[in-house]
A and B are shown apart, each in its own frame.
Chain A
Amino acid sequence: MSRNFDIVVVGSGPAGLAAATAAAALGKRVAVLDDNPKPGGQIWRAGIHPDRHPDPAKARTIAAFSASGAELFSGHQIVNASGPGIVDAWVESTKTLESFTCDKLIFATGARERFLPFPGWTLPGVFGAGGLQALVRSGYNVRGKRIVVAGTGPLLLAVAAHLKEDGATIVTIAEQSSISRLTPFLGSLLTHPKKLRQGVRLRASLLGSPYRTGCWPVAVEGHREVTAVRLSNGARTWTEPCDLLACGFHLVPNLEVAMLLGCNIGADGVTVDENQQTSVPHVYCAGEPTGVAGVDAARLQGEVAGLAAAGDTQNAGRLYRRRNAEATFGKAMNRAFALRPEVLSLAQPDTIVCRCEDVRYRDLDAQRSEHSAWTDAKLQTRCGMGPCQGRICGPAIEQLFGWKNNSVRPPLYPIPVSAFCKANSARVDSEPNALPRL
């Protein structure tokens, strides 16, 4: 089945919602596609319980979007973008593949946590930091659990505060970045009072739980479940008994759609012009895929992209200055939470790196050579060949071995073979000479 819109937005997080709202207000017919059951993206993920500290920006953005006339397609997982004006989505609830065509495409695909392998990280009870928060919001009760929160990034504090409010004991928060790296970033918060207030509130809510900088996890202890986490500060290593570990190493942008469309990608993310247009004409990008910078940057970039894609570059221009200030903040944040070399050497020979295919560090290490690359490693070891298609091990392997995952191809997610058969039989009916596109 195929539907046509003026503008299709991929992603219903802060950037996607802002983009769609802005474009719809200018009279454009807008569709927003998202894999998740509800709008809001990961940062504004809806929970089964009401938010204790509702974010007014979330309520405002979602209300404006709902009133905008843009159409939301939740539960739509993007599996292909075969050109700038066409995306295909797999709809799990109806087990169908649906096509959306458009004049302008805005992708706002967000970011995911970066994971790094260390002994025991595959044990049940080890989660991403944002991962555990999402699972708690969707009904997992952590009351009474002793939790170590570790890794790096501003997310650790937010997750720890949330888990504590849900009745968990936060044993410790281990931030791998050093205080000397974090200090300039804390200084930059002075020009962002809202963020500063938020940080102070989170830290205050965690009084009693140590926030250790320059401290990182080296191993998880336990058999079939977590019993303790071993932490190090470089000078000494000690054991913290706990029930769960919530661990993520900041964020990496979701670039699969950008790669599929052939958009230029720089060191931080997708390259865009002042109107958020990518190197591919009529394709715009907003939010974390252009470089991790947080929710305020995402909303502003989304609004610029929505206005510009709808033809109103004049109003888009009024937002440049604020948007650029948020990008500067993002750069300071990413410098503050850059990975220290020690966390890139935690994996032991038998540590699993690719969780889908259980590929161990030694298998990948054996592939090291002058000319080795992701594709060679993939073919030789099966790393990145499982259902996540390298989304988890890819960023880790890039850090550990320098091999960049550049083999993105459709379908972007595993879908049943029957989906192709149905989609193609429908297409053959309407276009007798059409070749399967996927």
Chain B
Amino acid sequence: MHDSDPLNHGHLLVVVNGRSIPMPEGSTVAAALLTANAPCRTSVAGEPRTALCGMGICFECRAVIDGVPHQRSCQIPCRDGMEVETQP
């Protein structure tokens, strides 16, 4: 990860579509989805989508977080053991 990180942030594990992904503390779920190379959601026409605006307004980053659908993953910090799935 960020090997130049002077503070050596701790990592936590987030499960994205069944795969464990280590993320630096303070990361958002959108960053975890991108790190896992997983789309956030599937569009109305069936296209895979990832976050666009990064600031909570485009809703492209909606994902299922700990079982709750349509969460804006760019506004939600990762927690250790969090389960994230691509929004169908």
Contact = CB atoms under 8 A, between A and B. Distances in A.
Contact of B52 (A37, A115, A141, A143): A115
B54 A49 contact: no
A355 interface: yes
Contacts of B50: 124-125, 127
B76 to A, nearest CB: 8
B55 A127 contact: no
Interface in A96-125: 112-113, 115, 122, 124-125
Given A128-B52, A130-B55, A355-B49, A387 B44 contact: no
Interface residues of B, number: 42
Chain B facing A: main interface SS: loop
Interface in A39-74: 42, 45, 48-50
B25 A48 contact: yes
B35 A139 contact: yes
Contacts of B54: 127-128, 130-135, 138
B35 A140 contact: yes
B70 to A, nearest CB: 7
B5 A112 contact: no
Contacts of B7: 49-50
A182 interface: no
Nearest to A77: B56
A386 interface: yes
Contact of A112 (B43, B45, B55): B55
Interface string B44-70: 110111111111111110100000001
B9 interface: yes
Given A48-B9, A138-B54, A352-B43, 7 more contacts: A92-B75, A122-B47, A127-B54, A132-B54, A139-B31, A388-B58, A414-B70
11 contacts: A48-B25, A122-B43, A125-B50, A130-B54, A131-B52, A135-B34, A141-B2, A143-B2, A356-B44, A387-B70, A392-B57
